[in-house]
Structure 1
């Protein structure tokens, strides 16, 4: 019998007011969540912060509309006045900035579903939503929240930004704290890296951007939407292992390519390219290389010497409690544009909120021990799944296609990370609904966590014939499940999986 229990629909994972995940215990719930079925959404107390507006942010927005006399308007709160101005420009008329007398920043406009959708998508891609802790503090100040309704958290004794930067620099090993720049999320780190690199390359006639491998959906969105001329400047190579095709692309277009963005390993197929060969090509052709190592973590892999910039979600692994969203950009001090990056990044990244950085500082020191535990557990779970007759496809960092490339950058042969993706040879709903593991988006926390990743990230593709063809062309099965191993004992995780896979 599994020691895990089903978590009710919509309950936060972990059970914190600022938990970054939320339970979707059945496939019907997943589909209802994606289709905005009120029968499902009414139970969602929260969700991943870049996709679901936190209840505190909603309440703060409603309070501002009342006190500013803006009834009948929509409001979108942002992480800074700079973010609000970018959002206002993106939306155009009739969007307007909140008045300077308001204690928070954002934009308002007459209620309009299309504009609201555009606002949410822009903030999601750029990672510029208001922090839930900042919203909480605002509500406490204005009397909309009482002290017993707020989150009680472990404090941090010291200067939190320096603490976090110091830890991150040590995780990367080739950087100093002055090479580390904090962001409101991993996505804000990636978006800012892209903008700064694009600005540096544009005067050189380089405007094209290459996506190598199937990447996280908002990274794809940035490249598809925010290059100078997306129809011409967005390039995609799905096969991360095809160096010959990459070389040919650089021969044909290398003088026009500004940068290459990839994940190492990729999400969710956990594929690792020959990073040294790719970096050498980029240097030869003057192409900037931006790497996202979040899936495995810089605790496990050494990528900075190959990159110009590394954009990393600190929400994963370094915030193992799963209750804070933050990110970082790390500059390769040996990179050709290192000085320019250090100058420009502070003006491109969003300011982090003091309580968020303090919360991260209170737990980042636990990250190496958490990762060590995860690295001990993952191989046992992989071996169970690899030999189970109901597992049709299985991906992890040491998959035969990636093993050699991954071990070249692994900090040790045992540094394999938490991520396992697989496809079951049975109805996915039968397996998923029976499974007692925590089920929701995100990864890299003390809690083991599983989700039907393609349904959550690319529901539009799952639900159309053309979309499924697009997924298939990139080697993605629509019913792929993404499992992130946590700190629980391996035997408990395996027993839970076995229970759900049984006849």
Structure 2
């Protein structure tokens, strides 16, 4: 579907619960097209839950992963046990420890068992060329680590999956299923009624895309049912998995799966900013000749603001949240025990990580300049507490640049000065700003980012990165700890898709930056903050152009004359709207003709009622930090600008009419 079509043809209830984008087997968003749909999704209403076939991977467990889990429960579980699948023994150990720790806080610790499941390929000597190329992914056995626990402990296991981001990817699950001979759907295991996993019958044929001709819903099986799923239709696309893989590789879009390590090296170089030329394969040309991950590709000093950054200072993870979780673990392991600081209102799971692992955290949720004064008071008070003289008052400070969803930026030079004075780590999530627009690395010890967002853009693969600053005072300690603890859990097929998607990252960012600024200029001209007086529906447009701009400018990429660089330095592709009334919020959201669902940084425009989705059970708490219940967050895409502006005018007119 073309970008223009996404703003004219998708805003209807027929898409509820389907993948966003459509016909995407590994989509990381789901269609929730109306305000009511979002509220009832969070409330667990059967009308919405029963039609869900997709979702954000840390919240909705992909159908292939659910199927693999049910097979593992049948094979290794005992009556009343459920399981969570982990990509390594170390992750399984962390998951087990988390479940035991959290359950013991609520009462008695629950029993947790670990099982290692070794999956090995069958003989492929008689396979076709395309089949062999696809199956070359499985030349070695795959270790799957299974965490088994009583069914009523599933919500705790799901918390670990959601917060840590150390998940099994849907592509890895499909690969594991392909290694199980005649993987037959076993009887459905009972799921806890409180479980956020929406158990649904999977497609009959594995490794098939959704039908391009129609998008029928899969028949629902009650989460509490113990009977086998009902018969269902095979919604196979005309291309098989093998054929689709051949097309992707032969015509230059994807590297072959055998080149997974090339893809990862290309990603690390791209993120490190060391590629002198980022050539891409075309028309099936040799990987070694064109791949940015080839051994003989020319690299130079980093463009990230610290020339010494190298590709081996970049670490890849299966999700952005896993990068944040690992940054926190690095801090806990190299610094003396102390609380951390969460500065500014962050994406929800960042705060959960800091609260639930380690000694806890101080939360300065507004993230304003005056909150740095409060931070200084905390640092002084903690320094006076009786402790060894060498112990810093806090372990690390985590902040986003800009923050999600209020688009605020902290004064990083001032925070850096405090970090040097009081000897703590400074960790910044640059996902929303991205390194085409902002240069935060010189001020921090660690930069983390969700590659699932604009770096990918296609919303069909998850990934995350962590970059160490070689000029940082704690670099040597961080590097040593990373060398001993880092696990590469980024599944190679996911890396191949991420490499393909990110080749034109910089070009897409510039288009999206320009589109977003035009849309925000229009919306703010009709807001209270912009001086509009004719029954305005919008109070404020949260966007770095107007929100804490002086702090954004401190890190905004500029040319040699001090002006924003023509090749970057925009304000990003995300903004949020604060409305004058709840009725205006709902009218605007329902009338906006674009995809509606979780996630951001997509090549197409995507909107969501952010507070409802992220803080449904804590709306009052969120409002105390300026995140109102009616907030609408919008990620702008690459559609034609005139179409975008007309679409937002339609939504704004509806909101203003509702206000009147």
Flag whether TM exceeds 0.5 (same fold): yes
450, 453, 476: which one pairs with 2:610?
453
Equivalent-residue separation in structure 2 for 1:363 and 1:394 (angstroms): 30
> Unpaired segments of 5 or more residues in structure 2?
101-109, 120-142, 184-204, 210-239, 249-253, 274-302, 384-391, 527-535, 559-563
Which residue of structure 2 lines up, in the alignment, with residue 133 of structure 1? 171
2:21 maps to which of 14, 19, 22: 14
Structure 1, residues 58-104: CA drift from partner, whole Å, max 9, x if none? 01111222334645421111122211121122223421112444652
Question: Against the structure 1 CA distance between its residues 383 and 333, is the aligned structure 2 distance closer, same or farther, given a 3 Å change threshold?
Answer: same
- The partner residue of 2:382 within 250, 253, 274 is 253
C-alpha separation between the residues in 1 aligned to 2:305 and 2:464? 18
Does 2:646 correspond to 1:495?
Answer: yes
Larger deviation: 80-89 or 150-159? 150-159
Instruction: State the secondary structure of the residue aligned to 1:104.
Output: strand
Greater RCO structure (CA 8 Å; 6+ sep):
1
Q: 1:352 to 1:247 in 2, by over 3 A?
A: same
Indicate yes or no: 2:596 matched with 1:439.
yes
- 2:263 matched residue in structure 1: 160
Is contact 1:196-1:348 (8 Å) kept? Answer: no
Deviation at 1:348, TM superposition (A): 4.4
Cα deviation for residue 147 of structure 1 reads 4.7
Query: Does residue 358 of structure 1 match 2:366?
Result: no
CA distance in 1, matches of 2:642, 2:596: 19
The SS at the match of 1:58 is helix
Name the structure with the higher helix share: 1
Alignment: residue pair count = 488
Name 1:211's counterpart in structure 2: 342
Unmatched runs of 5 consecutive residues or more in structure 1: 463-467
For the residues of structure 2 that align with 1:132 and 1:394, how far apart are their CA atoms? 36
Q: 2:157 aligns with which of 79, 101, 119?
A: 119
CA-CA distance at 1:297 after TM superposition: 1.0
Contact 1:391 1:422 in 2 (8 A): yes
- Alignment partner, residue 225 of structure 2: none
Q: Is the 8 A contact 2:596 2:607 kept in 1?
A: yes
Instruction: Give per-residue Cα distances to partners, 1:164-219, cap 9 Å, x unaligned.
Output: 001000163532101101111111100111111122112xxx41211111111000
Tell me, yes or no, if structure 1 residue 110 matches structure 2 residue 248: no
**Alignment correspondent of 1:172:** 304
Kept in 1: contact 2:615–2:622 (CA 8 A)? no
Please say if residues 607 and 634 of structure 2, whose CA atoms lie closer than 8 Å, have aligned partners that are also in contact.
yes
User: What CA distance in whole angstroms lies between the structure 2 residues aligned with 1:300 and 1:79?
Assistant: 34
> Following superposition of structure 1 onto structure 2, how do residues 388-467 of structure 1 map, counting pairs within 5 Å?
388=526, 389-399=536-546, 401-412=547-558, 413=564, 414-426=569-581, 427=583, 428-462=585-619
Distance (whole Å) between structure 2 residues aligned to residue 139 and residue 443 of structure 1: 30
Partners in 1 of 2:598 and 2:330 — Cα distance?
A: 29
TM-score (norm 1): 0.92
Rg larger in 1 or in 2?
2
2:436 touches 2:509 (CA, 8 Å); kept in 1?
A: yes
Structure 1 residues 273 and 89: CA distance shift in structure 2, 3 A: closer
Note the alpha carbon deviations across 1:453-500, whole angstroms, 9 max, x for none.
1111111112xxxxx1x3233122121111111111222122112112
Deviation at 1:235, TM superposition (A): 4.2
Cα 1:377–1:52 shift into 2, 3 Å: same
Q: 1:436 to 1:190 in 2, by over 3 A?
A: same
Residue of structure 1 equivalent to 2:509: 371
Q: Deviations over 1:20-51 (max 9, x none)?
A: 11011111111111111121011111111111
Does the 8 Å contact 1:377/1:485 carry over to 2? Answer: yes
1:185 is the counterpart of 2:327: no
Deviations 1:407-429 (A, max 9, x none): 12111434210011102335122
Distance 2:332 2:573 in 1: 32
Give RMSD over aligned pairs.
Answer: 2.0
CA distance in 2, matches of 1:147, 1:348: 31
Partner of 1:369: helix, strand, or coil? helix
